[in-house]
Amino acid sequence: MKMQKAAITQALYDTCAFAVVRVPTIERGLEIARGLLAGGVKAMEVSYTLPNAGEVIAAIKKEFGGEMIVGAGTVMDPATARMAIMAGAQFIVANCYSEGVSEICNLYQIPYAPGCTTMTEANHALATGAAFVKCFPISNVYGPSLVGLFKTPTPWMPLMASGGINLDNLHEWIEKGIDCAGMGGLLTRGSEEEIAANAAAVRKIIDETRAAAE
C-alpha cells in the first residue's frame, strides 16, 4: 500500500493545476471532471460553500476512481473535514488555518492546505502538519512575486497559489517556484470541450515551463 498522504501530495505537485469547483448539480461536476481529464488536468477541489459538496465528491470518485484526484475546499472546521474525507476527499483545502482540521487530516493521512497570509501563519501550519501552504487571499493581491517572499527564507515551504492565475501569468508562477495552483473560472466554465481546451493549454504551460527549468 502506498503512503497515502505522501502519494497524494506528490500527485498534486505532478499535475500542478487543479480546478476549484462550485457546482449546483452532480451532473455538472462530472462534466467538469471529464473536461479536465481530457485536457490532462487530473485534480479538482469541490468547495463546501455549497451543501452538495460531499455528494459531488462521492460521485466523482465513483465515476472516475483513481483517474481523478478529488479534494474538498473551504473546509473550516473538523466536522466538515471528517465528512469530506468520509465522502472520499483525498486532500483538504481551506481559506484559513484550523488546528482541529489539521489534526483530522493528519489522523486520516490526508494532505491539508490551509490559507495563510503571513510567514508566522505559514510556519505554524507546516509545524502542525500542513502539506501545502495556500497563499490566500494574497495570491490575488501580490501575484507571482509573493512566491519569493515565502521561499527565500524557507525554500522548503510547499506553496499552493489560489486566485489571480490565468494563461498569461501561469508560466511566471511556475518559474517562481509555486508547487501547485488552483484555478476557478478558467477550468470550470463553459462546455466540456471548452474546459478540455483550457485544461490542455494549462497542461502545456506547466510541462514546458518545468522542462525549461530542469
- Work out whether the CA dihedral 43, 10, 111, 131 comes out positive or negative: negative
Q: Can you give the pLDDT at residue 137?
A: 84
HEC sequence for 11-37: HHHHHCEEEEECCCCHHHHHHHHHHHH
pLDDT (tens digit per residue) in 101-137: 999 999 999 999 999 999 999 999 999 999 999 998 8
Cα–Cα separations (whole angstroms), residue 47 to 91, 143, 147, 171: 12, 23, 24, 26
Q: Can you give the pLDDT at residue 167?
A: 96
DSSP 64: H
pLDDT (tens digit per residue) in 150-192: 999 999 999 999 888 999 999 999 999 999 999 998 999 999 9
Q: pTM for the complete prediction? A: 0.96
Task: Identify the CATH number of the domain in which residue 207 sits.
Answer: 3.20.20.70
pLDDT (tens digit per residue) in 39-63: 999 999 999 999 999 999 999 999 9
Q: How many CB atoms lie within 10 A of CB 200?
A: 16
The count of domains in the chain is: 1
What is the extent of the structural domain holding 35?
Answer: 4-213
